[in-house]
Amino acid sequence: MKKIVFTLAATALIAGVLFTSCNSSSRKIKNAEDKVLDAKEAVIDAKIDLTQARQDSVNEFQQFKTDFQNLISSNEKKIAGLKLSIADASQKNKVQFGKKLSVLEKRNNELKIKLAEYEEDETDQWKAFKLEFKHDMDELGKAFSDFTVNNKK
């Protein structure tokens, strides 16, 4: 009798394990469909994020370009004002200031061309360009500030 009960218990245990651990084919299909839907949603979210990042990059580039075009225009006005003030200077200073001013004007024009010719891209080149351009504009701004300073003693 013990043998029959033990055999029945073992059989019931094995049957229970088999039925609970094995998914039916319809359950497997449902799980696979759920995973596919999750993957599709992830792809859609990634595309939305990429589109937003591109739009942000375009907006940032346009703002950068506008800001520095305005600064370059301001520099051109400063150059025109300095040319007028050079006309009132002594002959010695006219030559000295004229040379300095032509260097500043040339550098301002180079930066204007560099900004106009730069094509926006999504790489690290944009970051490098932005840093270098800001540095160059800062240097030009310092040169304008130091234009009439005479360091000779």
Asked if residue 150 lies in contact with residue 89, where contact means CB atoms within 8 angstroms, the answer is no
- Asked if the model's pLDDT at residue 21 lies above 80, the reply is no
Count other C-beta atoms under 10 Å from residue 149's C-beta: 6
Asked if residue 126 lies in contact with residue 61, where contact means CB atoms within 8 angstroms, the answer is yes
Whole-prediction pTM:
0.65
| Each residue's pLDDT tens digit, 86-137 | 877 778 878 888 888 899 899 999 999 998 888 876 667 888 888 999 999 9
122 falls within a domain:
yes
Confidence of residue 19 (pLDDT cuts 50, 70, 90): low
118 falls within a domain:
yes
| Enclosing domain of residue 121 | 58-145
- Asked if the model's pLDDT at residue 22 lies above 80, the reply is no
Residue 74: the pLDDT is: 92
Residue 139 φ/ψ region, left for φ over 0, alpha for ψ in the -120 to 50 degree band, beta for the rest: alpha
17 falls within a domain:
no
65 falls within a domain:
yes
Residue 63: the pLDDT is: 92
32 falls within a domain:
no
Count other C-beta atoms under 10 Å from residue 97's C-beta: 18
124 falls within a domain:
yes
Sign of CA pseudo-dihedral 124, 127, 130, 135: negative
- Number of structural domains the chain divides into: 1
| Each residue's pLDDT tens digit, 50-94 | 888 888 888 888 899 999 999 999 999 988 888 888 877 778 878
34 falls within a domain:
no
Asked if residue 122 lies in contact with residue 75, where contact means CB atoms within 8 angstroms, the answer is no
> How many alpha carbons fall within 13 Å on the CB side of residue 152?
2
Question: In whole angstroms, what is the distance from residue 72 CA to residue 87 CA?
Answer: 23
53 falls within a domain:
no
| Each residue's pLDDT tens digit, 28-53 | 788 888 898 998 898 899 899 988 88
Question: In whole angstroms, what is the distance from residue 10 CA to residue 19 CA?
Answer: 14
Distance, CA of 129 to chain centre? 11
